[in-house]
Amino acid sequence: MNREPDQSAIPAGDPFAIFEAWYAEAGAAEPNDANAMALATATPQGAPSVRMVLLKGHDPAGFVFYTNAQSRKGAEIRANSQAALLFHWKSLRRQIRIEGPLAEVTPAEADAYFHSRPRVSQLASAASDQSQPLADRADYHARLARLEARYPEGSVIVRPPQWTGFRLAPTAIEFWLDRPGRMHDRRRFERESPPGPWRSTLLYP
């Protein structure tokens, strides 16, 4: 079978610029939560776990999400900072894999994002011992009611110290683009450590 050589649709330039372009297209095409990404963490012994979180900020310094640091993922992050992210945009038939270490955002960043959320989300986060056993949902609702009484409408809800954010500083970013006949397009960017220079290569699909 003879085929004319084709060119990669994924350029070898700046991976952050490629991410920006794909992310903007996903925002216009995906019906729900184009910023949803799978976050994979692991224990110090290497036992993995994965869950969906929402991207809440990104720039060349990294990719930011927020969570309760006393949750399972928070405990794993504190014990083993290496993590991975995966964006899968089914409507565009594209994926982006991102790998690197996580570091906690500053208290000012966490405060700013916490107070940008709807009041009900702030209260729900403050009332939750995320990932911990819950005997009855009524207990959670009772906690929420006590916080609503403590913080009447219009008052500033204090961010719980365990509610914070993490930034993944990427050491690898891989782009995957669907093509017919399983001849997919893949390009991987790697660097030793941020903010070092990127190297890129195409990968067999």
Domain borders along the chain are: 15-107+168-203
Per the annotation, the verdict on 182 as an active-site residue is yes
**Of 150, 182, 188, 191, which residue is the catalytic one?**
182
Per-block average pLDDT, block size 10, for the chain (205 residues)?
66 95 96 96 95 97 96 94 97 96 97 96 91 90 92 92 96 96 96 91 95
Q: How many residues does the chain have?
A: 205
* Domain covering 15-107+168-203, topology: Pnp Oxidase; Chain A (2.30.110)
How confident is the model at residue 119, as a pLDDT?
Answer: 94
How high is the pLDDT of residue 50?
98
Q: How far apart are CA 109 and CA 97, in angstroms?
A: 25
Predicted TM-score (pTM) of the model is 0.90
pLDDT value for 2: 53
